[in-house]
Chains A and B, each alone.
Chain A
Amino acid sequence: MDDRESVLFRPIEATGRGFYLTVGLLTLIIAWAAYAYSRQLATGLGVTGLNRPVYWGVYITNFVFFIGISHAGTLVSAILRVFDAEWRRPITRAAEAITVFALILGTGNIMIDMGRPDRLLEFLRHGRLQSPLVWDVISVTIYLTASITYLYLPLIPDMAILRDRPGLSQWRRRLYTKLSLGWTGTEEQKHRLERLIGIMAVLIIPIAVTVHTVVSWVFAMTVQPMWHSTIFGPYFVIGAIFSGIATLIIVMVILRRAFNLYDYITEKHFSNLGLLLLIFAFLWAYFTFSEYLTEFYGNEPAGMRVLFAKLTEEFSPLFWAMWLFNFIIPFIVLSNRRTRTVTGTVITSLLINVGMWIERYNIVVPTLTRPRLPSPVAAYLPTWVEWSLLIGSLAMFALLYVLFSKIFPIVSIWEVREGEEIAAMHVPAAHVEEAGAD
């Protein structure tokens, strides 16, 4: 058992060339994005492709996209925990870390979009509760606080395990001692921790739903055609969990290979999450179809102009790519047990993330290009600054993740141990070894 577990400590105890290469490459990309942003700060938002009437573009799309993938953690670590799905144990922390870092990047993109980021504190000084953007600020702040707490709580016993582990450097020992809060693993402590985690798991689900609902309401509360929709709240939440699961699958395959976690992150995880992905592909398709059919049948002129911009005009390649990536390919690959393999789910997940980014872009931009009053035909072409900041955001997300997994065990050690104990109690002795991973 201890031999098997040693892979969980290896990323913390040993640093290979791969780590430095990855960090170096990511830092380079982020430095490039920082340069792009410095151009924007110095010159103004004129360095983007934004204009009148397309006032919002890639940055707002990134904001919705990152807030969306933050739902990975909540789904796996909270929903699956509440339902006591045993197989979740090795991937809960990986999922919850996605939540925290995606939220940071989502918030960051809103700040990048601001014309005057130096006036951020006006939110505190003059924030108006009537503004959906303030609903966002409040709910995202609560979500981030709750997510960090929820990431930290199950870390406490692992911090104690690391604190007591011989051979770690001085600063690590000090850090782990502080973070373990004097954990010794008594029954009393275990009981309290379980209770707290249980409360947080239940609390964080409505918070997560609120966050993405409110993000959708930034659009839905306006009277603009194809934004002013009553189903936007649930539609965005479904899309968020959809892209969240896809992101988790991508993260899982990377962790599995980089840290040699084949014993912990198994094919069953990919297959199970692949099935969940399939369910959400159906839900996404259902919401999207309802939304567009209702708009079409109502035949309201302002809405029809936006609708046909997507169906047949300049946004149609993106619109149909979105259907291909978010529904057709996932449906074909994931509904068949023979293609719902590790490779199958990972490729599908990559496409879904591209598809969901396009979906958000297709919600933000087309409406703005078709204002109600006559206006010169509006076109929007994102510039190198906007693309750099998208790639930089992704790199920053990856870097935060890499650094996190360098300091903290990315698989929750005590939870996996606990799962193995439970499995040992229920399964005949001969099968313990295979069942342990599941």
Chain B
Amino acid sequence: MPRWGMVIDLDRCVACQACTAACRAENNVAFAGPESSELGRAIFWHEVLSEVEGEYPNVRGTFIPRPCMHCDNPPCVRVCPVGATYQNEEGLVLQRYERCIGCRYCMVACPYAVRYFNWYTPEWPEGMDRYRNPDVPVRPKGIVEKCTFCSHRLPVPACNQACPGNARFFGDLDDPDSVVSQLARGPRAFRLLEDLGTEPKVYYLREGA
């Protein structure tokens, strides 16, 4: 049984956001529209976080592509009252759309803010609805959704396939010879908010090291 994990090399990432775009198309993420986006209601299963440190002219920008961390010890799964969010035997943290009651407890519990709520019924502009992926269900309003590591097309998540800089790797972390486990053991590897004990399965390779 594989334990799926991802490695993202920040030295190779150019923050082009191809991953984000590919994810939206692959996973039938609805269009939020400008009004909802401004309120922070747009859905991004995958997002590129940016942080600017320092003041001009001594500025340093950091970009961090952020899918779901698929934690081995997921705080979201622990708090769900009805088991709508769960971890499957391959370590993926997934959502049962037909069971979620929309209490959003998993969202407030997730320290990475990777979970999204359907504030309205999802909508696509005229014509775009014809390009929806038949392999991925469309989610109704009132429930929570999130990145699945593209569980329907393992072992090649859409974000990885779209990356033009070969910055992303995916594979079995339990196989000691796999590329991901070798990179994850390397000296540049780190994980986000590691000290919270959530054991994320997304590893990053530090830049400039």
B120 cross-chain contacts in A, Cβ below 8 A: 43-44, 46
Are A374 and B99 neighbours in the complex by a CB distance under 8 Å?
Answer: no
Task: Enumerate A48-96 residues with CB–CB distance to B below 8 Å.
Answer: 49-53, 55-56
Which of A45, A52, A55, A123 is the one whose CB lies under 8 Å from B142?
A: A45
Are B196 and A223 neighbours in the complex by a CB distance under 8 Å?
Answer: yes
CA distance A376 to B102 in the complex (A): 23
Are A131 and B105 neighbours in the complex by a CB distance under 8 Å?
Answer: yes
A50 cross-chain contacts in B, Cβ below 8 A: 119
B80 cross-chain contacts in A, Cβ below 8 A: 128, 131
A123 cross-chain contacts in B, Cβ below 8 A: 81-82, 101
- B12 contacts chain A at the CB level, 8 A cutoff: no
B residues with CB within 8 A of A = 36, 39-41, 49-51, 66, 75, 78-84, 99-105, 107-109, 111-113, 116-121, 141-144, 192-193, 196
- Tell me the dominant secondary structure on chain B's binding face: loop
Are A51 and B39 neighbours in the complex by a CB distance under 8 Å?
Answer: yes
Proximity bits, A104-136, B CB within 8 Å = 1, else 0: 000000100111110110110111101111100
Are B102 and A114 neighbours in the complex by a CB distance under 8 Å?
Answer: yes
Given contacts A115-B101, A115-B141, 19 further A-B contacts (CB under 8 A): A49-B39, A50-B119, A51-B119, A52-B41, A116-B143, A119-B82, A122-B82, A122-B99, A126-B84, A127-B81, A128-B81, A131-B78, A218-B105, A222-B108, A223-B109, A224-B111, A373-B193, A374-B51, A375-B49
Are A44 and B116 neighbours in the complex by a CB distance under 8 Å?
Answer: no
Which of B36, B75, B81, B113 is the one whose CB lies under 8 Å from A223?
A: B75
Shortest beta-carbon distance, B141 to chain A, in Å? 4
- A372 contacts chain B at the CB level, 8 A cutoff: yes
> How many chain A residues have a CB neighbour from B under 8 Å?
44
Which of A51, A52, A115, A223 is the one whose CB lies under 8 Å from B103?
A: A115
- A43-B120, A52-B117, A373-B49 in contact; A368/B82 too (CB < 8 A)? no
Shortest beta-carbon distance, A364 to chain B, in Å? 9
CA distance A222 to B76 in the complex (A): 9
Are B101 and A52 neighbours in the complex by a CB distance under 8 Å?
Answer: no
- A133-B103, A373-B66 in contact; A115/B111 too (CB < 8 A)? no
Residue on A nearest B96 in the bound complex, by CB: A126
Shortest beta-carbon distance, A221 to chain B, in Å? 7
Count A-B pairs with CB separation below 8 Å. Answer: 132
- A371 contacts chain B at the CB level, 8 A cutoff: yes
- A137 contacts chain B at the CB level, 8 A cutoff: yes
Shortest beta-carbon distance, B31 to chain A, in Å? 14
B196 cross-chain contacts in A, Cβ below 8 A: 223
Select the residue from B75, B80, B81 with max chain A CB neighbours within 10 A: B81
Are B49 and A119 neighbours in the complex by a CB distance under 8 Å?
Answer: no
Residue on A nearest B35 in the bound complex, by CB: A46
- A202 contacts chain B at the CB level, 8 A cutoff: no
Are A46 and B41 neighbours in the complex by a CB distance under 8 Å?
Answer: yes
B41 cross-chain contacts in A, Cβ below 8 A: 46, 51-52
CA distance A53 to B47 in the complex (A): 14
Are A51 and B40 neighbours in the complex by a CB distance under 8 Å?
Answer: yes
CA distance A52 to B108 in the complex (A): 10
- A115-B104, A122-B99, A224-B109 in contact; A376/B49 too (CB < 8 A)? no
A218 cross-chain contacts in B, Cβ below 8 A: 105
Shortest beta-carbon distance, B61 to chain A, in Å? 11
Q: Kindly list the 10 A-B residue pairs having the minimum CB-CB distance in the complex, ordered from nearest.
A: A115-B102, A115-B142, A46-B119, A133-B81, A51-B40, A131-B81, A44-B141, A122-B82, A55-B104, A46-B120
